Homo-oligomer: A and B are copies of this chain.
Amino acid sequence: MALPVVTISNIAAHENQEVELRGWLYNKRSSGKLHFLQVRDGTGVIQAVVFKNDVPAEQFAHADHLGQETAIIVRGLVKKDARSPIGFELSVKELEIVSEAKDYPITPKEHGVAYLMEHRHLWLRSARQNVILRVRATVEKAIRDYFDGNGFTLVDAPIFTPAACEGTSTLFTVPYFDLGNAYLTQSGQLYMEAAAAALGKVYCFGPTFRAEKSKTRRHLTEFWMVEPEVAYMTLEEDMILAEGLVSFIVARVLEKHEKELVSVLERDVSKLKNVQAPFPRITYEEAIERLKAAGHPAKFGDDFGGDEETVLANQFDRPVIVHRYPVELKAFYFKRDPDPRLALGMDVLAPEGYGEIIGGGQREDDLETLEKRISEAHLPREAFSWYLDLRRYGTVPHAGFGLGVERTVAWVCGLHHVRETIPFARMMERITP
């Protein structure tokens, strides 16, 4: 008789039914006539209880020696159980060993991070990493749902780019046939500006690259970024779009993962529940005043590092938007405020010391002004001739931003280091496994 093959995530729908579960042995303990097998299938972990009298003798004896990560199929009855973290356990009638694993390298004891990163292909199976990866997938889906549901068209930006947007020092270089070098993209923004003039509201969402010689807990050489861009949008609307996105993501994660955030990641979710639009907005100059008032040395023109971001963020119960930065701190393509010292840029700072998760603003839409900026910044004009075309033909006010997935996941999950937020982290010192 073929039993229905089910997943642990959906086990509640099969109460008092006989089912088949295909997975791996996560942990076990035995007591004479009973084996308690913790079985994981990638969607969750269930306790499978094997009574000596319920299964053939050799199966019961065999089960006593199974190593962690042995692949097993268990068949049996789904029973409600109030003591179970998932509310159910499986009463096993049949235990099938698919393949035995011996000496699995990652045991429930503590391992060093370097060792775990070297075994990332196996570390992914642990409960904690499993939750983080599923939260990441939820964050990514929430991002897409937000934009797809608001009339945006996904437009994939190219990865190979011909020229440097902001200098070549942090670019990865790729020899490209007879065309010299290509560079791996740091941002799809310029391409999204072209696409916004074609499609109105667009976003790209893909990997971006930064060859920064930096080993901090916030840096990866390869990370995922979503970048919306909207024709006829101003800085004020850009901030509304940004706070809408962030609060949508957090609400979705709480809806799907609140229990796991608490029980597996020990996240204080009360701090996430405050994350609702509108977010407080302060100007850069107000931020400087707030830093000074908090006893932190600061003056107009200073860039904010992690310390300043944390001081500012700690003054609010939800993310804070800082806008209108000194032009010197922002790239050539930012439009200027009527106050010519200021660029129409904005950053969203996450609470709890997680720093900037969004950076963006309104773009310069005037041809002559932009030509002047490119020349002042000593950028190669030829490389930007296509970008200037966007100001020659039908230029309109437009704005957008970039949100980094890994920093967002680190914040939502409450992780110290971004390396756990991406399946296979790439850093200065790591390209394996």
Contact = CB atoms under 8 A, between A and B. Distances in A.
A210 to B, nearest CB: 12
A165 to B, nearest CB: 13
A24, A119, A200, A393 pick with most chain B CB within 10 angstroms = A393
A222 B390 contact: no
A213 interface: yes
Interface stretch (A48-56, A130-138, A345-353): A130-138
B160 A221 contact: yes
Given A175-B173, A213-B177, A394-B70, A195 B148 contact: no
A396 B7 contact: no
B42 A201 contact: yes
A122, A231, A422, A431 pick with most chain B CB within 10 angstroms = A431
Interface in A36-55: 41-43
A121 interface: yes
Contact of A390 (B121, B137, B428): B121
Contacts of A221: 160
B386 A432 contact: yes
Contact of A428 (B43, B162, B177, B206): B177
Interface string A403-433: 0000000000000000000111010110111
B99 A394 contact: yes
Nearest to A390: B121
Contacts of A389: 105, 119, 121-122
A179 interface: yes
Contacts of A144: 141, 144
Given A121-B194, A172-B174, A198-B129, A98 B396 contact: yes
A125 B197 contact: yes
Interface stretch (A150-158, A265-273, A320-328): A150-158
Interface in A1-42: 7, 9, 22-25, 41-42
Given A122-B389, A206-B206, 11 more contacts: A42-B201, A69-B394, A71-B395, A99-B365, A104-B394, A105-B393, A119-B389, A133-B155, A140-B156, A159-B159, A195-B423
A161 interface: yes
21 contacts: A22-B396, A24-B394, A41-B200, A42-B199, A70-B394, A101-B393, A104-B393, A122-B393, A124-B194, A133-B199, A136-B154, A136-B156, A140-B156, A155-B423, A157-B423, A160-B431, A177-B211, A177-B428, A191-B424, A194-B433, A206-B207
A431 B422 CA distance: 28
Contacts of A365: 99
A279 to B, nearest CB: 23
Contacts of A156: 136, 140, 207, 224, 422-423
Nearest to A433: B386
Interface of A: 7, 9, 22-25, 41-43, 69-71, 98-99, 101, 104-105, 119, 121-122, 124-125, 129-130, 133-134, 136-137, 140-141, 144, 148, 151, 153-162, 172-179, 182, 184, 191, 194-201, 206-207, 209, 211, 213, 221-222, 224, 231-232, 365, 386-387, 389-390, 392-396, 422-424, 426, 428-429, 431-433
The 5 closest A-B pairs by CB, nearest first: A42-B200, A386-B433, A124-B198, A121-B194, A42-B199
A423 B141 CA distance: 22
A129 to B, nearest CB: 7
A154 to B, nearest CB: 4
A178 B130 CA distance: 31
